[in-house]
Chain A
Amino acid sequence: MPEIKVTPLGAGQDVGRSCILVSIGGKNIMLDCGMHMGYNDDRRFPDFSYITQNGRLTDFLDCLIISHFHLDHCGALPYMSEMVGYDGPIYMTHPTKAICPILLEDFRKITVDKKGETNFFTSQMIKDCMKKVIPLNLHQTVQVDDELEIKAYYAGHVLGAAMVHIKVGSESVVYTGDYNMTPDRHLGAAWIDKCRPDILISESTYATTIRDSKRCRERDFLKKVHESIERGGKVLIPVFALGRAQELCILLETFWERMNLKAPIYFSTGLTEKANHYYKLFITWTNQKIRKTFVQRNMFEFKHIKAFDRSYADNPGPMVVFATPGMLHAGQSLQIFKKWAGNEKNMVIMPGYCVQGTIGHKILNGQRKLEMEGRATLDVKLQVEYMSFSAHADAKGIMQLIRMAEPRNMLLVHGEAVKMEFLKGKIEQEFSIDCYMPANGETTTVTTNPSVPVDISLNLLKREMALGGPLPDPKKPRTMHGTLIMKENVSFMLVSSEQALKELGLNEHQLRFTCHVQLQDPHSDADTLHRIYTHLKSVLKGYTIQHLPDGTVIVESIVIKVSSSAEDSNTKVLLLSWSYQVKTWTLFLEGLPMQSKPGSSPNHLVIESLF
């Protein structure tokens, strides 16, 4: 039986370093090529030696697909393509292709320029790598080669995030990447059609969460910001440059617009400006509201949000500042935090996840005294708020996607093992399908039952149609006669036997069945035959029955001959001969009730047993 094999090189029971190998129908596909944020050694990149010890990856992989531009999904791309060596096609959506190199370059700068690492990919490598990228459009089916085709679906999450449907023959796999089932202020909800894949590989970051309605969250967020501003306080929102930052910007921008507020909003500059530019360009990838209104005004052209300068932090009066990085572990956000932490009127809002060890994590856990470098301590008097604006599907969203796609098997990646376990149970219970959650390097094998398409000749089909009723009943299978021809390089062909013989250059062999039946009949051979003839004539109405002069009776294609046996002239031997045709057979069986003839009961049995 054919199999589909899935092996996570990263993101198996883990968040970060997404990289999944899929073998389907003899093709090998790599899904995402990410890096791990938590490591600084070799472990940060996937172990490509798993694929091949020596020899280029190009020989083993048919294609590589990147779902979106987050570094844990594309961070290892230049390393793989330029340093390990891969020249095959790389697929990603247009926005991803545009924004991904910005992030990679930023990542490179931090690692090489700031941390001083060597043996890292260079700017040129990023450029070379991006040259190998083939952009994808939504819902566009791309033939990677003759058999492998991929199709991208909208995934929400970030601008340009896509789910991919990979199909070889009738086997298929869907990889979701990261996705979001609830639309937000700038992106729509993920959507997929009922493609019924063999395996659905889904992320499961929020496997145990069902989030509150986003409106509550938004309202709370806005209310907190608004109150703080009215009090005259300053609000700090640490964010990562791309993704949620834009979402929060739009949220605040529209609120400011609606409420006619005047307090300034600042955004710490950097790569955001470049990225914002792309957000303005890829309007088709955003949600309904932005798509509809961009003609009047592009929502990403912010009116109230201005670039931040570090001197502004000391300005009096209320303000809102978005600053990077998002976990308060370094950079501008930390500097501002230090300045503002002492005033209880101020507020810091953490809009997402914080890794253990960062200041963000500490203050969220209620720590009010922080040790800074140089033994200084910092009293945290400002308010600390947490608002989850993460754009991942929650448990209900994952279930919703499963219901949309109707997969035969489920495979969870990109999540914590314990949470996955919980969700796995739910999925198996709810949909009664198998659910897998392989760890890194562990291979999951799913056997498939692909249907094999066979072409049928039109003539044959028409002939069979004519035999049966006017309309084939789609619910009932029907048997038909035909010859299956398998030729090299040509798909299967079902043709009529005549045509098959002709194509093969063979002669037709007639296959006839014969049997002898003994009858006790005192009459002469001719008379017996005549009696049989008249009997048949009376019984089988509507059939052509011929009495030929050479002493045979022919019923359709059945030949009957009578001869006396050598020993006993009263014992007549009836010779029946028929060709291999079921239909006439049954007729014969129905139509020849021998018991009506004198002394025929044993013969009847004989004939019956014969048939």
Chain B
Amino acid sequence: MLFVVATVFLHLQIPHEETPAKKLRLSKPSKSAALHIDLCKATNSTDALQYLLQFARKPVEAESVEGVVRILLEHYYKETDNSVRLKIASLLGLLSKTQGFSPDCIVDDAINTLSNEKSHQVLAQLLETLLIIGTQLPESPALRLRLVEVAYKHLSDTYFGVRNKCLQLLGCLGMVDAPLGKENEGAGTSLGGLRDVQSIISDYFGDQDPRVRTAALKAMLQLHERGMKIHQIIYDQACRLLTDDYEQVRSAAVQMVWVLSQLYPESIVPIPSSNEEIRLVDDAFGKISHMVSDGSWMVRVQAAKTLGSMLQVSPHFLEQTLDKKLMSDLRRKRTAHERAKELFASGEFSSGRKWADDAPKEKLDTNTVNLIASGACGAFVHGLEDEMFEVRIAAVEALCQLARSSPSFAEKCLDFLVDMFNDEIEEVRLQSIHVLREISTHITLREDQLDTVLAVLEDSSRDIREALHELLCYTNVSTKECIQLALLELLKNLNKYPTDRNSVWKCLKFLGSRHPTLVLPLVPELLSTHPYFDTPEPDMDDPAYIAVLVLVFNAAKSCPTMPALFSDHTFRHYAYLRDSLSHLVPPLRLPGRKQVYGLDSVDSGPGSGSVESAQLFLQQSLNRVSTIQNLEAPGAQDLLDLTTRDLLRLGELQTELAGAADFCATYLRCQLLLMKALQEKLWNMAVPLCLKQNVTATAAAQQILEETYKLEFLYSGLESRQVATIHHVRLQAKALQLVLTARTRQGLDLLIGSCEKFLQDVESFQRLFLTELPHLQDSFVDKLLELMPRLSSCKPVELVKILQTTLRQSGLLQLRLPEQIHRATATIIEPTGESDNPLRFTSGLVVALDIDATLEHVQDPQNTVKVQVLYPDGQSHVIHPKPGDFRKPGPHRHRLITQVYLSHTAWTEPSQIEVRLLLAYSSSSTSLTSPSKLGWSESLESLPPAEAAVEGTIPFSKAVKVFIMPKPARR
């Protein structure tokens, strides 16, 4: 009975689902009519406002917008309450933004409303609406002209909001090419002369309201963004606004001055109170530098950021920014004479670093030099010392930009950047290390500078140390002492923080390959060889010794004379390291070691050409497989088996194609499993006889299911087509399961439930992959869908029979490969699993285990990656790392550095635990729901009932064993 009801329900639902478009139209009564009724019902303004607010929450489809607008306007004219009119005005703006609606038909009405409006607020809102309409219709110059005129007419309003909006309108819509009022004879008269937008806007630079001044500057910037060339006359006005009392104005003025300095860098401007002239960009640079010591930190950030992009500035101005003592005097460098130099030399100002050096000296002629003046001087010194770290970061970034374009400046700012390594905020320290790395191509570190840089290696923050290692990879040093110093400090670092091993080695690798000639004289000392005596052979497992060897071997790569200095054990160690740490140790041409050389050449043999051939091979294998018509075809199994093996090997050989090859192999394995399960003889046997085989088939079905989840979630770069294919396999597996359940005869109720669920699955498959169905010709689903009406009405037993035959008859679905496909992988770097030293802890208490892992091609690792700890007694814990534990060192790469807490009560013997990373997935979060072409409102109402979300985890890293020894708990 229950079954019948269910089918009837399904029956009803399916046609219902097929016509979503129709349903949409029916459910929407005319918005305009409803609104009209509501507004008429409103007895007072509060009610009306409520209706409008409610109305605003729902969308209006394009075709009825105009009607709604008419009703709103009608009400607008009748309404006496300002707030209601304001709301209507804002609604008009909102409605004009509706997709597919062209607001040109309501422009006239909107403009008309302006003429009778008395309330300033409403006026401002109406202008805002006009602005929206104007921006919606960018291709209508006539309309723009009209709107600009409207704006111009209201510019003299007494309310700042109205003036603001007018200026905004002018900025967004003002004619870029034609000056306002030149062409239009009729309307031009009302404008009181022919004036262009820029001069009109610039009149408001002197407005009494700071908000209007800001709006005027912003409007001007808007014009610039739209491609209008701002006149140079504006420059003086903008500079004056730099000293405005209000920070928004100053901030906007900084931008304005910057824009002009980029437009007219080479123009000459006079220096006030002298008869000299300088380039505009230099002048602007000086003025903006000045703003770095502004009273408001927002302005300071703005100014510091802006400085970074003024690359055309003259070098001597640039260098002033780093000097506190060289005052604005440099402006007159051309006329400056020797006396100025003496002045600095005589130390008029004390530096505060030496005792009593500020004892007053005889007064110098202060008229010659204008010392503590404005100008660029010391801007960065100030910025880097600022109280707010936002300003400091902005200054560091600006330094970086400027230094990249000017090697001499890079040299100069080095000391300052190095000083920033000592900042109190880690973010700033990190940023300055990164910046130094970026400009390090320009600079060669001196010994003392290197010394300061290396001091940071003792920092307890891992990020800082790794950034510094990265920096050292790119650094040029000048002398062999520097190399020695760097090595020494790195070894110290290694000693203090053993976890930095990999990073330090990598750093030394680059250091060695960059400075082979500097390393050469150090080799005997480094390897502690002696001309007469044999020295003891160093411990091969000592990370410090490995570090030294990495440095030496990498230097030796481009320095053929070096191997002559090696002692015997060095060669042995080379062979060992070349094998175990091949990414750190390069292939060397060693005398008398041909075989090593030979091996290397094979390894480095495959070039880029082989990728294509591998690709071809992959494609051919797939094509070969596609010849299998039927799962029962003879020889199909062997072919699948073979191809799977080929593909796996290919993936190992060609890392570029590993993702694709693995993906295909897994898919084919699923097919193979399915094939095997179906070919079992058991299908023809009586049920009780084949219980055993039944078990293997069940296991196969289960495995296929698992594999499909791996296929779906472990690989990135899948397209909808592949996802459909994967789901198809899953459906097959489910069908298999259903058939197997039916054979066990565990009661009808259970079977009915399973059938129902299966049918739902089919249905949702159809819904999700509607667009992909044509590609699934002749497949299992295709056949199933043909039989769908019958299926949904027949009895479970019958259904199972149908499924069984369909499964066996359906063909193999060909796999189409997407462009890029990557498998998510994870490598646990730490713990290594090699350590013999057990981690000691008191049982019953907690021990922290550091985990360091690299993740590749994992999307959204913060939510998906988990750590699994497997205890010796089989218990397992899944730990979710904090989002902050993930770092992103490169594209598609993540780094997980976290701690997991282990604890177990009943633990007496030392034993090993296993740690691995899991990738969590949830089928509800897949992105395969067809891209919603439906309107945003429908998505809420007619969303299909969510498929029962399947959640699970896939292990995607090798398990690492950690040896743990408990200490007995003290009582």
A residues near B (Cβ < 8 Å) are 182-183, 185, 188-189, 191-194, 206, 208-220, 222-223, 226, 254, 257-260, 287-289, 350, 364-365, 386-388, 390, 394-396, 399-400, 403-404, 416, 418-419, 421-422, 425-426, 429-430, 470-471, 474-475
Contact = CB atoms under 8 A, between A and B. Distances in A.
A213 B381 contact: yes
Contacts of A399: 372
Interface string B233-273: 00000000000010000000000000000000000000000
A422 B360 contact: yes
Main secondary structure of the interface of B (DSSP, over half): loop
The 6 closest A-B pairs by CB, nearest first: A183-B387, A215-B419, A211-B352, A388-B352, A210-B349, A386-B355
B348 A213 contact: no
Contacts of B206: 475
A212 B352 contact: yes
Nearest to B156: A471
Contact of A214 (B360, B385, B389): B385
Nearest to A191: B295
B363 interface: yes
B385 A183 contact: yes
Given A209-B358, A210-B325, A223 B455 contact: yes
Interface string B615-632: 000000000000000000
A212 B353 contact: yes
B373 interface: yes
Given A209-B350, A418-B360, 10 more contacts: A215-B416, A223-B452, A226-B455, A258-B458, A288-B387, A289-B389, A365-B356, A386-B355, A394-B352, A474-B208
24 contacts: A188-B387, A208-B348, A209-B351, A210-B351, A212-B324, A212-B351, A213-B324, A213-B381, A213-B384, A214-B385, A215-B384, A226-B455, A259-B460, A288-B387, A365-B356, A387-B353, A395-B349, A419-B358, A419-B360, A426-B371, A426-B372, A430-B370, A470-B158, A471-B158
A418 B348 CA distance: 13
Of the candidates B158, B295, B416, the one having the most CB atoms from chain A within 10 angstroms of its own CB is B295
Contacts of A350: 355
Given A217-B352, A394-B352, A430 B372 contact: yes
Contacts of B351: 209-212
A189 B295 contact: no
Nearest to B424: A289
A470 B385 contact: no
B862 interface: no
The size class of the interface chain B forms with chain A is 35 or more
Contacts of B156: 470-471
B247 to A, nearest CB: 10
Contacts of A206: 352, 358
Interface in B358-386: 358, 360, 363, 366-367, 370-373, 378, 381, 384-386
Of the candidates B367, B372, B385, the one having the most CB atoms from chain A within 10 angstroms of its own CB is B372
A254 B424 contact: yes
Nearest to A223: B455
A422 B359 CA distance: 12
A429 B360 contact: no
Interface in B663-679: none
Contacts of A208: 348-350, 358, 360
Nearest to B244: A194
A259 B387 contact: no
Contacts of A213: 324, 381, 384-385, 416, 419
A422 B422 CA distance: 35
B642 interface: no
Contacts of B324: 210, 212-213, 396
Contacts of A209: 349-352, 358
Interface of B: 156, 158, 206, 208, 245, 293, 295, 324-325, 348-356, 358, 360, 363, 366-367, 370-373, 378, 381, 384-389, 416, 419-420, 422-425, 452, 455, 458-461, 496
B349 to A, nearest CB: 4
A426 B366 contact: yes
B355 A400 contact: no
A217 to B, nearest CB: 7
A226 B293 CA distance: 33
A251 to B, nearest CB: 9
Contacts of B455: 223, 226
A216 B385 CA distance: 11
A15 to B, nearest CB: 13
Contacts of A215: 384-385, 416, 419-420, 422-423
Nearest to B387: A183
Given A259-B459, A289-B425, A400-B293, A216 B358 contact: no
A192 B294 CA distance: 11
Contact of B388 (A288, A387, A403, A474): A288
A470 B158 CA distance: 9
Contacts of B458: 258-260
A254 B424 CA distance: 8
A185 B424 contact: yes
Contacts of A219: 419, 422, 452
B403 to A, nearest CB: 17
Contacts of B416: 213, 215
Contacts of B378: 396
Contacts of A289: 389, 424-425
A593 B373 CA distance: 63
Contacts of A218: 422
A325 to B, nearest CB: 18
Contacts of A387: 353
A563 to B, nearest CB: 50
A430 B366 CA distance: 11
B352 A194 contact: no
B298 to A, nearest CB: 13
Of the candidates A214, A217, A258, A394, the one having the most CB atoms from chain B within 10 angstroms of its own CB is A258
A364 B208 contact: no
Contacts of A212: 324, 351-353
B295 A404 contact: yes
A287 B387 contact: yes
A396 B206 CA distance: 31
Contacts of B356: 364-365
Of the candidates A183, A185, A220, the one having the most CB atoms from chain B within 10 angstroms of its own CB is A183
A191 B206 CA distance: 27
A421 to B, nearest CB: 8
A421 B364 CA distance: 12
B461 A258 contact: yes
A260 B496 contact: yes
A182 B378 CA distance: 13
Contacts of B452: 219, 223
Contacts of A258: 458-461
A510 B432 CA distance: 82
A194 B295 contact: yes
A222 B372 contact: no
A412 to B, nearest CB: 14
Nearest to A209: B350
A425 B366 contact: yes
Nearest to A218: B422
A385 to B, nearest CB: 9
Contacts of B385: 182-183, 213-215
Contacts of A259: 458-460
Nearest to B328: A430
Contacts of A185: 424
Contacts of B461: 258
A394 B372 CA distance: 11
